[in-house]
Chain A
């Protein structure tokens, strides 16, 4: 029993990831799709950070008298990934704005209908 419970962090991650995936697949609204992508991204962040947690460890800032720290490497990767996710989200939202201006809608279906009419 103990060994199943020790894995709960991964289950939270999987749950969040699946919520994000469901939003991306099932929602037609482009802004909602981007929100879904964000949730998905955050689940990956949590996954990395939970990997770096060490029992009894503390934040990786060197202090006299403490020798057990969390793993700093995933922190670095995720730190940059968060900022990059901001940039990519902004780019995606900019694309959404342009799509709205060109098609008059941000619903996937309506955009497809308009596309089919044009060709």
Chain B
């Protein structure tokens, strides 16, 4: 069952990569990266069990955190400068993540 779950997650990761390469908008790509990250967390914890060394769970925790930070960073920096669509007229003119 562990192996089956690992294979399923690998398939899903391949699908997200397809979406990331295809993705018509920037946000599709960010979504794909985010989903890829969460699937990697699952993959690493599964692999730890498959190999019988649950020390790998530390890496999964790091992944979960770093994935969050990088997605927030991507949203923050991709919006914040030089990438503002002209038709947008918010009162503050700025938007965050």
Contacts and interface: CB of A to CB of B under 8 A. Distances in A.
B81 to A, nearest CB: 13
Contact residues on A (Cβ < 8 Å of other chain), bracket: under 10
B69 interface: no
A113 interface: no
B50 to A, nearest CB: 12
How big is chain B's contact interface, by range?
Answer: under 10
B89 interface: no
Contacts of B55: 59, 61
B90 interface: no
Interface string A32-74: 0000000000000000000000000011010000000000000
Contacts of B52: 58
A115 B67 CA distance: 41
Contacts of B56: 59
Contacts of A59: 53, 55-56
Interface in B40-56: 51-53, 55-56
Nearest to A58: B53
Contacts of A58: 51-53
Contacts of B53: 58-59, 61
A62 B53 CA distance: 11
Interface string B7-40: 0000000000000000000000000000000000
B30 to A, nearest CB: 18
A61 B53 CA distance: 10
A61 B59 CA distance: 15
A61 B52 CA distance: 13
Given A58-B51, A59-B56, A61-B53, 5 more contacts: A58-B52, A58-B53, A59-B53, A59-B55, A61-B55
A-B pairs, top 4 by smallest CB distance, nearest first, are A59-B53, A58-B53, A61-B55, A59-B55
